[in-house]
């Protein structure tokens, strides 16, 4: 499994989205998120975007007030994951228009929907913005 989890955390350390591709209990998730957020948020922009934590490698990127953290296996290509994060943000930006933290908060299920299109079982399966957004837009139209 390449990607193990995707987290979006604001700069106050509050989780805005958490998507895990392996089962962890609620306590484990909370502990993991706490540790990672403490580690990553303390770093400034002059430092590299990769942090090793437990058996994960965390690749993170900050966009305005929101941190995107992706936990991957050790063998994963870090730069590709950074591109993946950027793609996710661009996709959201195209859908919401100037995406901000509030968009993600209030349309969490849509963001989940996009993520589900992009990643299945930890593997990246879709990298085209149009393809990712098709089902989301369809859902919007029908409801």
Partner 1 sequence: MAGSSIMENLFQRTLEDLIKGMRLQLIGESTFISKATEEIRREIKSTDHHTKSTALLKLCYLSAVHGVDMSWACFHVVEVMSSSRFAQKRIGYHAASQSFHDDTPVLLLITNQLRKDLSSANHFEVSLALECLSRIATPDLARDLTPELFNLLSTARVFVRKKAIAVVLRLFDKYPDAVRVCFKRLVENLESSDPQVVTAVIGVFCELAAKDPRSYLPLAPEFYRILVDSKNNWILIKVLKVFAKLAPLEPRLGKRIVEPVCEHMRRSGAKSLVFECVRTVLTSLSGYESAVKLAVEKVRELVDDQDPNLRYLALHVLSVAVPEHLWAVLENKEAVIKSLSDEDSNIKIESLRLLMAMVSESHLADISRVLLNYALKSDPEFCNEILGSILTTCGRNVYEIVDDFDWYVSLLGEMATIPNCQKGEEIETQLVDIGMRVRDARMQLVQVGRDLLIDPALLGNVHLHRILCAAAWVAGEYVEVASNPFELMDALLQPRTSLLPPSIRAVYINAAFKILIFCLDCYLLQNEGTASLDSGNLAGGQSELFSVKNDTEAAELATCEGSKYEQDAGFNPRNTTESFDDLSAENGIERVATHDQTITPTFVEKKNFMHESIVNLLNRIELIFGPLIANQDVDVLERAQNMLSLVLLIKGENDNSFQDVDKKDTRVSAIIKLMRDAFTMELGPVSTSAQGRVAVPDGLVLKENLGDLHAICGDIELPSSSSFSTAGPHLTATSDASSSNPLINEESGALNESTSLIEHRKRHGLYYLPSEKSEIVTDEYPPANDPKSNSNINDEASELVKLTEQSLLLKKRTNQTKPRPVVVKLDDGDVAPISVQRPEPRGDSLSGAIKDVLLGSETGPSMSQSNPYDKSSRKQKEKKKLGTNVQSEMKENVVDAEKPDSENPNSSGKNHGHTRERRHRGKEKIVEGEEHDQRGKKKSGHRHSRRKTHQRAKSPLNVVSQTPEIPDFLL
**Which residues contribute to the site for partner 1 (CB under 8 A)?**
1-2, 14-18, 21, 23, 26, 29-30, 43, 46-52, 73, 75, 77-80, 82-83, 105-106, 108-109, 112-113, 116, 120-128, 131, 135, 138-139, 142-143
Min dist. Cβ of residue 93 to partner 1 (A): 20
* Rounded distance between C-alpha atoms, residue 17 and residue 99, angstroms: 14
E strand or H helix that includes residue 118: helix 108-118
Instruction: Pick between residue 34 and residue 94 the one whose CB is nearest to partner 1.
Output: 34
**Cα distances (angstroms) measured from residue 48 to each of 89, 108, 116:** 19, 29, 28
* Rounded distance between C-alpha atoms, residue 25 and residue 43, angstroms: 28
* Interior angle at CA 95, CA 133 and CA 78, nearest 5: 75
Instruction: Pick between residue 98 and residue 109 the one whose CB is nearest to partner 1.
Output: 109
Min dist. Cβ of residue 97 to partner 1 (A): 18
Instruction: Pick between residue 64 and residue 120 the one whose CB is nearest to partner 1.
Output: 120
Tokens 């399966």: give the residue. 125
3-state secondary structure of 139: helix
Min dist. Cβ of residue 129 to partner 1 (A): 13
Instruction: Pick between residue 55 and residue 142 the one whose CB is nearest to partner 1.
Output: 142
């Amino acid at each position: 499994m390449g990607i193990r989890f995707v987290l979006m955390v604001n700069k106050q350390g509050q989780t805005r989205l958490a998507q895990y591709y392996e089962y962890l209990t609620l306590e484990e998730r909370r502990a993991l998120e706490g540790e990672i957020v403490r580690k990553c948020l303390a770093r400034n922009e002059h430092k590299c975007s990769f942090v090793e934590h437990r058996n994960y490698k965390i690749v993170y990127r900050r966009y305005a007030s929101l941190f995107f953290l992706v936990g991957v296996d050790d063998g994963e290509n870090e730069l590709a994951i950074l591109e993946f994060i950027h793609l996710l943000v661009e996709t959201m930006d195209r859908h919401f228009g100037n995406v901000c933290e509030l968009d993600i908060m209030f349309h969490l299920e849509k963001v989940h929907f996009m993520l589900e299109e992009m990643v299945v079982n930890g593997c990246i399966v879709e990298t085209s913005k149009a393809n990712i957004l098709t089902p989301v837009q369809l859902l919007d139209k029908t409801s």
